[in-house]
Amino acid sequence: EVQLVESGGGLVQPGGSLRLSCVASGFTFSNHWMHWVRQGPGKGLVWVSGISNDGRGTTYADSVKGRFTISRDNAKNTLYLQMNSLSADDTAVYFCARDHAKTPDYWGQGTLVTVSS
């Protein structure tokens, strides 16, 4: 059974940093691109960032480019998102999602990031 479990969310002050993690199981992690998608309170889903199966290729939404860094450790079956210079606009539930043939087919339960003073 495919499982994705996010962690690392919490309350952080504006300008602060946070690192999210997503532990994968039930599939060969190193065979798949992986992505982060976020959902602000009462809002729709927004794609944030993606990383290639070997970690060499990365993509970012314009809204986070230069502030967020996606990475992965295939030996640990873990995906990361380092978030810096956070603002209130970054407040959201952050989901990790598996990419299967250009479709986000499995999602984690999400981790809540709240940016507030």
Partner 1 sequence: QSALTQPRSVSGSPGQSVTISCTGTSSDVGGYNYVSWFQQHPGKAPKLMIYDVNKWPSGVPDRFSGSKSGNTASLTISGLQAEDEADYHCCSYAGAYTWVFGGGTKLTVL
Note whether 81 binds partner 1 by CB under 8 A: no
d(CA 72, CA 23): 10
Q: Measuring CA to CA, which residue among 58, 53, 111, 64 is closest to residue 86?
A: 64
Note whether 5 binds partner 1 by CB under 8 A: no
Note whether 50 binds partner 1 by CB under 8 A: yes
Note whether 62 binds partner 1 by CB under 8 A: yes
Note whether 91 binds partner 1 by CB under 8 A: no
Binding mask 9-38 for partner 1 (x = CB under 8 A): ------------------------x-x-x-
Which residues, 93 to 112, sit near partner 1 by CB under 8 A?
Answer: 95, 99, 101-110
Q: Which positions lie near partner 1, rule CB under 8 A? A: 33, 35, 37, 43-47, 50, 52, 57, 59, 61-63, 95, 99, 101-110
